[in-house]
Structure 1
């Protein structure tokens, strides 16, 4: 079966779903010590982006080698309820077509605590794919919910990222593939699905929904 254009794929179970973030050593060490993010060094006032896709996180951070502020890759298990709350209280980061008035959209954007962005998924060589993966930006009231209520477990996967990257560099793509976290399509309710696809045509929505792209 072909992969739908927009798809949430993640490591998850019946209680939690895994997202990834890349941080400096100071923030990562603090998060691992306390089991959540503490301010300081974590900055509560900044938008924080969470990503269910391991490979997109590798693209964004350059396998943890892009810059010191992203040298540590963290896997954060958050509650499914929290993840779904974020999706329910989100706005697409681009101007959705049903907002004819730009000022109205900007007003709604300012009052909405979560941004959704769909970006091309990446392969092991970090090349863009035809299908897209979701990025979720948390701000305002969503940030304390994320760190105080949703976060259940934080693990450092920097070594795993380095191992996979080394295999890719050696041309051992099959071995690298076997080391990747197993991400599966994550289903959302029908209202959330429609909300996440509110800028698509009806035909596109039906195609993705039939393929169980979004949970």
Structure 2
């Protein structure tokens, strides 16, 4: 996996779009990084197993029966976890997802609210009931947790077989970035935004026509069904 790169928040904000629905994410030629926050016990198990569905992860308290949310936007994760100080969110994990797989999640996802005007409410209800991938647009946030006035950020909800496929074939590596988060908290507390570092994030250009390949190793690593999730 490629090492993460950083830039100052002020430089990043100057590059980012100021309005609209924007998928901001740390990207490499082969991966898109998404974030999750966990308690120390779960985070340790997940990093050791390098997946979400291993028996050791389930034994540590992870539930494959619930919807889990992944966040490509670092500052949204910082808002949600209060910079890794919120209860049960003290550890921040960066999950490296194959680019084609991340693209496919957006392609296959269903909006959590019927607000795009493209389908009727009945059609949307049928889609969201049958889909295991949910797309939710929330207000983006600035470092102190305040809402960004014009930009909205994406989070993706996964459950059932979609969650299992994500864990087993889409995630290529998991890194604990809590130490980096902790190193930046003093800058946030003092509002030294000129010194605050964030992962470099760019707009993800979604391509609905990209081939639906979850992983370049798809043939080597089959996807178990949910009831068979006893390996990693």
Q: Same fold (TM over 0.5)?
A: yes
Instruction: Report whether the alignment pairs 1:107 with 2:122.
Output: no
Task: Find the aligned partners of 1:111 and 1:149 in 2 and give their Cα distance.
Answer: 22
TM-score normalised according to structure 2 size: 0.76
- Mapping of residues 3-152 of structure 1, within 5 Å: 3-37=18-52, 38=54, 39-40=58-59, 41-67=61-87, 69-96=88-115, 97-100=117-120, 102-129=121-148, 130-152=150-172
> Could you tell me which residue of structure 2 aligns to residue 202 of structure 1?
none
- 1:84-103 Cα shifts (integer Å, max 9, x gaps): 12111111000133333x34
Task: Find the aligned partners of 2:68 and 2:98 in 1 and give their Cα distance.
Answer: 17
Q: State the Cα RMSD in Å.
A: 1.7
> Could you tell me which residue of structure 2 aligns to residue 188 of structure 1?
206
Quick check: 2:79–2:143 contact (8 Å CA) kept in 1? Answer: no
How big is the shift at 1:190?
5.2
> Any unmatched runs of 5+ in structure 2?
1-14, 211-232
The size of the alignment, in residue pairs, is 188
Among candidates 170, 179, 196, match of residue 190 of structure 2: 170
Equivalent position SS for 2:105:
helix
> Any unmatched runs of 5+ in structure 1?
193-215
- 1:78-131 Cα shifts (integer Å, max 9, x gaps): 11122112111111000133333x344222211111111111111111211111
- 1:124-161 Cα shifts (integer Å, max 9, x gaps): 11211111111100112110111111111111111211
How big is the shift at 1:34?
1.3
Equivalent position SS for 1:73:
strand
Task: Find the aligned partners of 1:14 and 1:162 in 2 and give their Cα distance.
Answer: 28
**Which of the pair is proportionally richer in helix?**
1
> Could you tell me which residue of structure 1 aligns to residue 229 of structure 2?
none
